[in-house]
């Protein structure tokens, strides 16, 4: 205790001396908090003093100081705004093309802890057995306690081939375990497992299943081709699985919605400091799809997933089955800077067609269906083993959410069939 007090007594006068010296050199005056000139002058003076007096000369280049200031500014706004150095900006552009380097884990901050929302399929994180809800305590031995979300994402990413050790705590068991992963160039196939679901009744309705893992540039085209094939196989209703889908490109989510809606329908609108904007479906290039649709969502369905689910729910085009979604309904605009870096900044919020807000609220299901933690883990395990089991066949067994969606669609098909007028009997011939 004595040593701590002594250290404080030495440290405080040193601060006071620096402050007096700065006042003597520049003079003190009140600055206007809304004046860009006054405040840039404060920032410039701070950078000058750091370059003049900071003990470690390797950390005081103008670029390092500028980038640090930008990181701090964006991080203070909200968890989704961030500054991207040139290499990070390039990595983000690769992400939207379904190819990037990393470990393949979607993360968020939950109660101040870096938490895995879900591991992306066919990635090192997924293959290693990481689970939704796992907390990342350390990355390569360094604590994540004081990292912001953008800093954590930046730390997890890197060049392909590099090994990364994650120290994971699993909340259900409190077990702490190290996982050594190797970064790879991740190629994400966004549309998976398109098939007609097996049925015990050979004469029953043909219900199709398609899963979208995230929304990238090719997603709508991939989905259209998958639906074309299923329709040729006799598809009568569809389960669209958006569980664990973290989102992606807004334009892709709008295009996917457009596969099930007529042209000119508002899918989502945005409002921010700039005038609001509506995103509408474009003219249909393929066949019209009128069959019933059920959309599966859960707590990890975010952003673009919520746009699709919210639009098709509001427009009475789909029945939403599962859990309330994540609630990430804000728009991040990417603004390039002159040196190749960029700002990713929240500029607006999403609204569904009926003007329901998504951000921090989520999209609620029409039919609530839950998975136990064990069922959730088994579902992810089945996806890890070459799709759904070695056969690649999707099954409702052990998946109450999918089973409930199938029940809803079967009931819908029966209702639609009963609403149709009876076929007229052929006229009899006179003798």
Could you please report the per-residue DSSP string of 113-132?
A: EEEEEEEPTTSHHHHTT--T
Residues comprising the chain, all counted: 431
Whether 314 sits among the annotated catalytic residues: the reply is yes
Helix (H) or strand (E) holding 37: helix 36-53
CA-to-CA dists, residue 159 to 4, 113, 118, 185, angstroms: 43, 25, 22, 8
Q: Which of 328, 330, 382, 399 is catalytic?
A: 328
Partner residues linked to 272 by β-bridges: 348
Q: Which of 81, 303, 305, 341 is catalytic?
A: 303
| Rounded Cα distance, 238 and 101, in Å | 33
| Rounded Cα distance, 203 and 318, in Å | 24
CA-to-CA dists, residue 328 to 287, 344, 347, angstroms: 32, 15, 13
76 within 8 A of 97, measured Cβ to Cβ = no
CB atoms within 10 A of CB 9: 9
State the virtual CA torsion across 39, 40, 42, 43 in degrees, nearest 10. 130
Paired sense of beta strands 175-182 and 184-187, if any? unpaired
Q: Is 1 helix (H, G, I), strand (E, B) or coil?
A: coil
Write the DSSP symbol of residue 221.
H
Helix (H) or strand (E) holding 99: strand 99-102
Q: Where do the H-state alpha helices sit in 327-399?
A: 373-384
Q: Which of 88, 154, 255, 314 is catalytic?
A: 314
| Rounded Cα distance, 306 and 377, in Å | 23
Pick from 312, 310, 354: nearest CA to 329: 310
Give phi and psi for 377, each to the nearest 5. Answer: -65, -40
Pick from 211, 218, 285, 276: nearest CA to 248: 218
Write the DSSP symbol of residue 425.
P
Whether 303 sits among the annotated catalytic residues: the reply is yes
Q: Is 156 helix (H, G, I), strand (E, B) or coil?
A: helix
CA-to-CA dists, residue 275 to 78, 99, 212, 253, 335, angstroms: 21, 33, 31, 21, 18
The catalytic site residues sit at: 303, 314, 328
């Amino acid at each position: 205790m004595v040593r701590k007090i002594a250290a404080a007594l030495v440290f405080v006068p040193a601060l006071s001396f620096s402050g007096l010296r700065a006042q003597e050199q520049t003079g003190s005056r009140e600055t206007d908090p809304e004046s860009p000139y006054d405040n840039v002058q404060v920032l410039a003076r701070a950078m000058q003093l750091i370059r003049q007096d900071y003990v470690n000369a390797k950390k005081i280049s103008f670029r390092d100081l500028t980038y640090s200031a930008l990181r701090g500014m964006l991080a203070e706004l909200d968890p989704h705004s961030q500054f991207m150095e040139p290499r990070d900006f390039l990595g983000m552009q690769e992400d939207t093309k379904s190819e990037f380097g990393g470990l393949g884990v979607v993360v968020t901050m939950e109660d101040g802890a870096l938490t895995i929302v879900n591991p992306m399929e066919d990635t090192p994180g997924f293959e290693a057995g990481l689970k939704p809800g796992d907390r990342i305590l350390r990355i390569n031995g360094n604590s994540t306690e004081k990292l912001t979300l953008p800093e954590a994402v930046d730390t997890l990413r890197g060049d392909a081939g590099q090994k990364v050790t994650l120290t994971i705590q699993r909340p259900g068991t409190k077990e702490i375990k190290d996982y050594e992963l190797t970064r790879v160039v991740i190629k994400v196939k966004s549309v998976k497992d398109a098939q007609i679901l097996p049925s015990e009744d050979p004469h029953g309705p043909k219900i199709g299943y398609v899963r979208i893992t995230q929304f990238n540039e090719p997603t709508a085209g991939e989905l259209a081709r998958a639906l074309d094939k299923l329709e040729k196989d006799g598809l009568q209703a569809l389960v669209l699985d958006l569980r664990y889908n973290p989102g992606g490109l807004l334009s892709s989510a709008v295009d996917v919605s457009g596969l099930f809606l007529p042209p000119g329908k508002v899918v989502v609108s945005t409002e921010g400091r700039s005038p609001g904007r509506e995103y509408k479906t474009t003219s249909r290039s393929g066949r019209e799809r009128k069959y019933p649709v059920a959309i599966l969502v859960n707590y990890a369905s975010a952003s673009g997933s919520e746009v699709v689910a919210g639009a098709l729910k509001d427009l009475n085009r789909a029945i939403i089955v599962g859990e309330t979604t994540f609630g990430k309904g804000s728009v991040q605009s990417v603004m390039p800077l002159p040196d190749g870096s960029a700002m990713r900044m929240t500029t607006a919020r999403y609204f569904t067609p009926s003007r329901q807000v998504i951000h921090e609220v989520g999209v609620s299901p029409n039919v609530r269906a839950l998975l136990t933690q064990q069922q959730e883990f088994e579902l992810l395990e089945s996806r890890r083993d070459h799709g759904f089991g070695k056969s690649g066949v999707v099954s409702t067994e052990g998946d109450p959410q999918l089973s409930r969606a199938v029940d809803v669609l079967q009931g819908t098909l029966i209702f639609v069939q009963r609403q149709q007028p009876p076929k007229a009997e052929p006229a009899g011939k006179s003798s």
